[in-house]
Structure 1
């Protein structure tokens, strides 16, 4: 698992560097959002996959089994995950505005606005994760220290925490993404029915196909990033609601005779894979990113050959 995580983290680093240093034909605001998504996804892999899952697999008593790390763990986990989620949401909003509204585009789709938005998302994502400090507790059971869901926490607190996290990480983002993607596809479908009239100049006839091509690429990037996030996250959203709001809340999460544990871990795997899939999505859907990626590979190969 550790080797796989390193490979996936490397993919995010490569994505960050290519978008930052190479010309991928993206607007400056989109470049900042995609770089921020790469950073947030890397934090998800570090906190959840490496420090939690991988350490748990290799050690019987991980460092986060003890206080205060047991209580702090989910603040960093959910903070990173929520930041990754809402960066996808604001990127969807930014692309929707850029594609459809010229007046708002000049105010919203700017590097300054993007930088402030990204900073706010990282800060508030971790602030909203602070209540998770009281959701876990460290216990000594069967000669082993473990970090478990706090069985003494009031049920109202747990239900409120679960539904608040579900709303901010799944339901609200899903609704926003589905609505904006639906409107985008509908408007693109309507615009495709409009043909250039015969009285347009030859210059306009040359420019319009280029504009339509750029708009199409923006839509492909928008739908690819946002819909892949939704499809990979929906299983975890459902299983987490079941686990934390039903009598299964007290079940042993290490007992894989229970089907809910298998489903929950499958959902977690799919959700976390979203944190490493963006580079491959860009390679598959964005020709300019693909060209820059291949150019980087050739440069690295040439450098290695000269050293050998």
Structure 2
């Protein structure tokens, strides 16, 4: 979900990519390195916790969550670190030269497409697990999840390949920049490519996620309403409360699990939608303005005097934040994940205690080597005196 670069005029390139004294530029210089510093370790920890611990999740859900952590880490590395952070830290990043100018968008869009459609796949898998009992045994399995994840990564890269021909490296005032190809034959190709990316990265995923979440919440609401007393023979005639759905008796324990699964699903998917909607709207507005403008050219993208440019950069920051917040979402919604995270942290701390004790001895001069060095240093000082 990379910030799109508009067709840039020669005067704009000569003046620089952005006014360095604007508060938005200063904010991005601080925000993107901080986001990478926080997000990458949290994704790695999330992957390790889910991999080593069950967290009371099904095997298919664990695979999807681990794949999402990998895709989000790829987004942070390729877009946040290698593009945005370097853009604000270096006057001429390495990707402004050939062939990195073309390869950069392939990596960026491949990672962002995978991150987006893994959320959609996870939403669909949880919808089937909650809504359709018959398909659950065939769809909600580790093998099916692994095949779906592999297909999502492969298709994400394939959909990003056309972006290889979208950018060119130009040199203005002995400074290289990566901009859209402005030749006549490429003009329609660029506009069609960007609109296709907008549809498959925002409009289509948003539609699927909102529809499936609505159906999932509706199914849980109906299962809670269809309640009838059922005699429990294992508890001496105690009358329990169950509900029937799709020909099966839903016990209170199963209903509780459905609620927890729905809570995780809605939290992950709706957070993705809420953090990405600002960018989606601003991209549609910018693309519509570019198409309706003279010669199909949009205003200078780096002119922060235009409010839509500020809103677009804020949308990019919010959208990329989605790649770093999953661990926080799991901590807030999954009690078992919190327990496993604390257990892993305690285990790591216990493993590091011998190293800490050794370092404490060294700094407290209890180590024989340090004591010997101190004695030699003192003798040398007395000889000089």
Instruction: Report the counterpart of residue 272 of structure 1 in structure 2.
Output: 320
1:207-249 per-position Cα deviation (integer Å, ceiling 9, x unaligned): 8221111111000000001000000111111222233342375
- Mark the structure with the bigger radius of gyration: 2
Give the CA deviation at 1:300: 2.6
Whichever structure has more helix as a proportion of its residues is 1
Give the CA deviation at 1:142: 3.0
Q: Runs of 4+ in structure 1 displaced over 6 angstroms?
A: none
Instruction: Report the counterpart of residue 147 of structure 2 in structure 1.
Output: 116
1:52 aligns with 2:83: yes
Work out the CA distance in 2 between the residues paired with 1:150 and 1:44.
24
1:137 aligns with 2:180: no
Q: 1:185 aligns with which of 200, 205, 217?
A: 217
Instruction: Report the counterpart of residue 17 of structure 2 in structure 1.
Output: none
1:114-140 per-position Cα deviation (integer Å, ceiling 9, x unaligned): 111111110111101111112211111
**CA RMSD across the alignment:** 1.9
Work out the CA distance in 2 between the residues paired with 1:199 and 1:298.
45
Q: Show structure 1 runs of 5+ residues with no match.
A: none
Q: 1:161 aligns with which of 184, 189, 193?
A: 193
Give the CA deviation at 1:285: 0.3
Q: Is the 8 A contact 1:158 1:244 kept in 2?
A: no
Give the CA deviation at 1:166: 1.3
1:282 aligns with 2:330: yes
1:254 aligns with 2:297: no
Give the CA deviation at 1:179: 0.6
- Between 157-166 and 47-56, the greater mean CA deviation after superposition: 157-166
Give the CA deviation at 1:3: 4.6
1:211 aligns with 2:248: no
Give the CA deviation at 1:201: 4.0
- Between 88-97 and 3-12, the greater mean CA deviation after superposition: 3-12
Work out the CA distance in 1 between the residues paired with 2:132 and 2:77.
38
1:1-56 per-position Cα deviation (integer Å, ceiling 9, x unaligned): 43541221000000000000012011111110110000000000000000001111
Work out the CA distance in 1 between the residues paired with 2:97 and 2:288.
25
Instruction: Report the counterpart of residue 6 of structure 1 in structure 2.
Output: 37
1:240 aligns with 2:283: yes
Give the CA deviation at 1:202: 4.8
Instruction: Report the counterpart of residue 347 of structure 2 in structure 1.
Output: 299
Q: Is the 8 A contact 1:162 1:245 kept in 2?
A: no
Q: Show structure 2 runs of 5+ residues with no match.
A: 1-31, 242-249, 357-385
Work out the CA distance in 1 between the residues paired with 2:271 and 2:230.
41
- Between 52-61 and 244-253, the greater mean CA deviation after superposition: 244-253
